[in-house]
Structure 1
């Protein structure tokens, strides 16, 4: 057999995405180029790796076994590269981080300098909701996770990064003068929620429950950006992290609505499984965070003190 690493990479991506079109987009290749490489790879086997039923591509059982072996070969190749750069005195390897959705406004600042100083490192950041972040930790799929609420069921180590404050906000067009009370704000105005599994949604629900407000109009959206855009369009109010609305407040597109008991305060924490054996890259990043977090906050997040 004379397969190439390039063919292995393409085949693994096709298996992962179940689509030649999606694989070509992900790999920045043309669809014909991917199809040709798949055909050349297939020609080396007497048994079909994939089959097309209708317009849907399926991976055969044999193809799935070959994909597992191909992925193992690719990973071993990466290990050789990492060991080579390590022998040359360079830090190399993969760093995998799962981040709660709002963490996308935080995490880049706490990794940019480390990543720039270590160009041999491969970085993977999965931005999702809290429930999926916890699942990634539980399954040992990541080195670290960025969360604002520590999950109870896992034994974790953590480093506190910075505070996370949540405020009730409305668009500049929202006229608070017309509302008779804060109770009316929550009971007679549409409220915009994140989806179930979101830490922001949980904080918002706990606050409303504690106050005893009865929500009559509810809108549910699946991302912080979607919630922000809905508030900007004056569809309703929402309790959101301050970290995600800096520009909208600066441009006076959004307004913070003063409410007793708000803002809610939590902390962004970098967490990892207590039993996890951290890689050299992960250990180096942990030392970087402990050493540099205060200066990063001073440099990039002083603006939060204005609110």
Structure 2
């Protein structure tokens, strides 16, 4: 391994991660023949095959898995080195990658904008996905930190509280149950529009109804809060959703919230980092900023116009 180059190792890692030479080349911004050549040179140097073909995709051989494990250790060491060097530069420049669950996009950009105005030399990259995708990004160091409502329990993380995150049930503005205090059981026959499995909102909804002793009738799974809101407005069903996603629609009377016993379900927003990851000064400053000033960017749900 002494004469293996970082370019060769990254070519192998990209093929294993994407499954194809073409996708790896696109990620590395090189040609497919260049990727093939790097891997062939690495295999010749090591004297062992590193990839096996499985249908139209590649997977690592036993030797390839050992090399990939070494590549991950190398990349982590380089990231730590970069963090140490950035620490010497202070907050005048740097880069922070931030992951956020899709529901957080209703307040996080405003918070990041305020941070960027304080530190204009720091570049911020955003990665948006559901909870499972953000946990995978944290685990693989795809992001420096993530903003989510329920930190992972299967990896060691440090978390800082941002503020409360209420969830409730929304309905069309002319729904017959508006203005009444109801039990969850009154919704047993209602049609529900739901986020996809793996979403934090979906998991919270399932727990709420399970504790209420009913099983919601999910007629449609939708991977976007915006689409869910439009579908509810169109009368396709009800939805269990974050209050932070609907403030504008409730305020102007396009959506309404049902008064259900046990709701709103209050969770919390956290900024999370992998415990073993050493943050750069810009990333550490952003964590501190979100913990200190994050609450002021959370949307406020005000009552909408009375039902017509």
8 A contact 1:249–1:255 mirrored in 2: yes
Who is 1:64 aligned against?
A: 65
TM-superposed CA distance for 1:277, in Å, is 7.7
The root-mean-square deviation of aligned C-alpha atoms, in Å, is 4.5
TM-superposed CA distance for 1:241, in Å, is 0.9
Deviations 1:57-79 (A, max 9, x none): 23222233333334444444444
Who is 1:176 aligned against?
A: 175
Who is 2:259 aligned against?
A: 259
- Find out whether 1:128 has 2:130 as its counterpart: yes
Compared CA separation, residues 42 and 306, structure 1 to 2 (3 A):
farther
User: Normalization by structure 1: what TM-score?
Assistant: 0.68
Compared CA separation, residues 176 and 200, structure 1 to 2 (3 A):
same
Q: 2: CA distance between counterparts of 1:82 and 1:205?
A: 40
Who is 2:33 aligned against?
A: 35
After the TM superposition, which of the residue ranges 97-106 and 38-47 deviates more from structure 2? 97-106
Q: 2: CA distance between counterparts of 1:115 and 1:287?
A: 14
Deviations 1:170-201 (A, max 9, x none): 346xx52499x857961332122345565433
Gap runs ≥5 in structure 2: none
Q: 1: CA distance between counterparts of 2:56 and 2:273?
A: 43
User: Normalization by structure 2: what TM-score?
Assistant: 0.68
Compared CA separation, residues 155 and 306, structure 1 to 2 (3 A):
farther
Compared CA separation, residues 271 and 207, structure 1 to 2 (3 A):
same
8 A contact 2:11–2:39 mirrored in 1: no
8 A contact 2:251–2:301 mirrored in 1: no
TM-superposed CA distance for 1:140, in Å, is 9.8
1:176 is paired with a residue whose SS is coil
Q: 1: CA distance between counterparts of 2:188 and 2:35?
A: 59
8 A contact 1:159–1:270 mirrored in 2: yes
Who is 1:8 aligned against?
A: 9
Compared CA separation, residues 155 and 243, structure 1 to 2 (3 A):
same
Compared CA separation, residues 84 and 196, structure 1 to 2 (3 A):
closer
Who is 1:240 aligned against?
A: 241
Mapping of residues 151-300 of structure 1, within 5 Å:
158-171=159-172, 175-177=174-176, 186-195=187-196, 198-205=199-206, 207-208=208-209, 214-215=214-215, 217-219=217-219, 221=221, 223-225=223-225, 227-228=228-229, 230-246=231-247, 248-249=249-250, 254-261=254-261, 262-271=263-272, 279-281=279-281, 283-294=284-295, 297=296, 300=297
Q: 1: CA distance between counterparts of 2:217 and 2:212?
A: 17
Compared CA separation, residues 304 and 56, structure 1 to 2 (3 A):
same
Q: 2: CA distance between counterparts of 1:232 and 1:59?
A: 49
Q: 1: CA distance between counterparts of 2:285 and 2:32?
A: 38
